[in-house]
Structure 1
Amino acid sequence: MQLRRESTATPAKRVPMVESVVRVSGGVVAFGGRPILHGVDLDVRRGEVMALLGANGSGKSTLVRALVGLVPLSAGQVELFGTPLPRFRDWHRVGYVPQRASAAAGVPATVREVVASGRLSRLPWWRPASRHDREAVERALETVGLAHRARDSVAKLSGGQQQRVLIARALAGEPEVLLLDEPTAGVDLPSQQAFADTLRTLIGVGTTILLVSHELGPLEPLIERAVVLRDGRVVHDGPPPSPVGHHAHPEHTHVHPHGARSEAGWFL
């Protein structure tokens, strides 16, 4: 009878895999036959804080809009939480704040009413708001520092405050990943610093964040990874590169429009 020998080898330690929240494989976007994105690959992992950087016209906003299905891919694939975009239905898991949107939208509404609309993706049409829904709205208002303005009309808020209302609306849905397209463009330095405080709170609770920006400013210390686009292609993926030119000045704030290659910022 052959005796069975027990192995003395130490079993290999299994390294846990970090879940991919957003993935783009070979993403191509073209408008009117003109290519905007050229075979972009991107993988955002759970809990990551990533900035998507580049000059105006580099394809940043196009890429983010493709992630939520607002821009169709000509080739390649987008996956959210491991599910191909055409089959994805759990939109309450994704918070999206578009570029240069207005919270007022010409409709009289209070700050709380706008933020509460962020719960609609979780509410069946027949069910009234619950205590949990109301608490989620209050938490979102507190996170962006606007709880004291909850009853005010959004039309009376500054541009930076309206941007924070839109972020609160996205947060009210309790998303697992937050996609922010140029959230600090056109707002003053105090508003940028207030937004940085908001991000710091979200990072503390493990929210995955993908932030589109021309430059980071006060947000730079919070960013773990930066992907830089140039002419629709990824040219950098790693630690945030250092800004150059007058963008590197500590008091520089991005509140002015740029042409496609008019500034020496993250583009270089």
Structure 2
Amino acid sequence: MKQPEQPPVISLRGATATLGSRPVLRGVDLAVHRGEVVSLLGANGSGKSTAVRSVIGQVPLTGGSVDLFGTPLRRFRDWARVGYVPQRTTAASGVPATVYEVVSSGRLSRAKLRLPSKADRAAVHRAIELVGLADRAKDSVNALSGGQHQRVLIARALASEPDLLIMDEPMAGVDLVSQEILATTLREQVVAGTTVLLVLHELGALEPLIDRAVVLRDGCVTHDGPPPRSLGQHALPGHDHVHPHSDSEPVRTGLLT
């Protein structure tokens, strides 16, 4: 007997969203299926981060719908299945904390109100090992480099052993060594069957892992298919050639239609 087809892990249908009074998503359709690695690409301001934040409920939609694992977002409660690494943040806070303590906080969605179990502790240690920080587990996160901070945040997301991993520009501002470690870590998750949605400026070290690329421009999907091969951010549809060191006006590249 034929088994019923599983629903997408993520399903955005006709998604619209505004920030302030500015439309940011304009009818985005996106489906990510079990075991897929999908990258969201596009220029700054194209709606990539807003799209992923709408998936986890941080940005409310003004129209359309979001489902996670076949359940409408408003009814979804099984957040232990979702690991999220936000954009440009830090593992440090005003309260001193070790690497182990920060990563342990990612296990709370599974531990809930009970004391950490042997399985919880094992998952935290494994997550720290995966990102290559086993020798720094007892160190304060305040003593880490930017790339190491990012690795701690990824370990925190992995500690819950998620079925879905969402990462918003995980390679931004990360040194080459950390990029390679993160690529290896992600490869292990993919082999284990984790579904992954990545916001990226360029594919870089993650290129071999990407199954599908979805390109956004002005809040609309302009491409959904094979990833552009070894093109980099400057060749993305609608990329504005504006950089922090430049005061010049943007020069647009060719657009996908």
TM-score by structure 2 length?
Answer: 0.89
Instruction: Report what 2:238 is aligned to.
Output: none
After the TM superposition, which residues 78-93 of structure 1 pair with which residues of structure 2 at under 5 Å, given as runs?
78-93=66-81
Contact 1:22 1:43 in 2 (8 A): yes
Q: For residues 146-174 of structure 1, what are the alpha-carbon distances to aligned partners after superposition, in whole Å with 9 as ceiling and x for unaligned?
A: 11111111111111111010010011111
After the TM superposition, which residues 40-55 of structure 1 pair with which residues of structure 2 at under 5 Å, given as runs?
40-55=28-43
Contact 1:245 1:265 in 2 (8 A): no
* Distance in 1 of aligned mates of 2:129 and 2:219: 37
Residue 217 of structure 2 aligns with an amino acid whose one-letter code is R
Instruction: Report what 2:139 is aligned to.
Output: 152
Report SS of the residue matched to 1:20: coil
**Deviation of the 1:44 alpha carbon:** 0.5
* Distance in 2 of aligned mates of 1:264 and 1:123: 49
Residue 222 of structure 1 aligns with an amino acid whose one-letter code is L
Contact 1:56 1:258 in 2 (8 A): no
Does residue 134 of the first structure (1) align with residue 133 of the second (2)? Answer: no
Aligned with 1:214 (options 193, 201, 217): 201
Report SS of the residue matched to 1:196: helix
* Distance in 1 of aligned mates of 2:3 and 2:216: 31
**Deviation of the 1:33 alpha carbon:** 2.6
Report SS of the residue matched to 1:41: strand
Q: For residues 26-64 of structure 1, what are the alpha-carbon distances to aligned partners after superposition, in whole Å with 9 as ceiling and x for unaligned?
A: 000012332110000000101111101111100000000
* Distance in 2 of aligned mates of 1:164 and 1:265: 35
Contact 1:99 1:182 in 2 (8 A): yes
Residue 235 of structure 1 aligns with an amino acid whose one-letter code is T
Identity of aligned residues (%): 64
TM-score by structure 1 length?
Answer: 0.86
Distance 1:146-1:267 versus aligned 2 partners, 3 A rule: farther
* Distance in 2 of aligned mates of 1:267 and 1:177: 29
Aligned with 2:191 (options 204, 207, 214): 204
Residue 79 of structure 2 aligns with an amino acid whose one-letter code is W
Distance 1:138-1:89 versus aligned 2 partners, 3 A rule: same
Residue 131 of structure 1 aligns with an amino acid whose one-letter code is K
Structure 2: 5+ residue runs without aligned partners?
A: 236-242
Instruction: Report what 2:82 is aligned to.
Output: 94
* Distance in 2 of aligned mates of 1:97 and 1:146: 17
Residue 40 of structure 1 aligns with an amino acid whose one-letter code is V
Instruction: Report what 2:96 is aligned to.
Output: 108
Contact 1:55 1:267 in 2 (8 A): no
Structure 1 runs of 4+ aligned residues shifted over 4 Å read: 13-16, 243-248, 256-268
Instruction: Report what 2:26 is aligned to.
Output: 38
* Distance in 2 of aligned mates of 1:246 and 1:46: 27
Instruction: Report what 1:7 is aligned to.
Output: none
* Distance in 2 of aligned mates of 1:25 and 1:228: 16
Contact 2:38 2:212 in 1 (8 A): yes
* Distance in 2 of aligned mates of 1:232 and 1:221: 26
* Distance in 2 of aligned mates of 1:106 and 1:263: 42
Contact 2:222 2:256 in 1 (8 A): no
Residue 120 of structure 2 aligns with an amino acid whose one-letter code is D
Aligned Cα root-mean-square deviation (Å) = 2.5
After the TM superposition, which residues 173-184 of structure 1 pair with which residues of structure 2 at under 5 Å, given as runs?
173-184=160-171
Structure 1: 5+ residue runs without aligned partners?
A: 1-12, 249-255
Distance 1:124-1:187 versus aligned 2 partners, 3 A rule: closer
Aligned with 1:170 (options 133, 157, 163): 157
Report SS of the residue matched to 1:65: helix
Report SS of the residue matched to 1:77: strand
**Deviation of the 1:244 alpha carbon:** 4.3
Report SS of the residue matched to 2:9: strand
Contact 2:201 2:233 in 1 (8 A): no
* Distance in 1 of aligned mates of 2:216 and 2:233: 20
Contact 1:53 1:266 in 2 (8 A): no
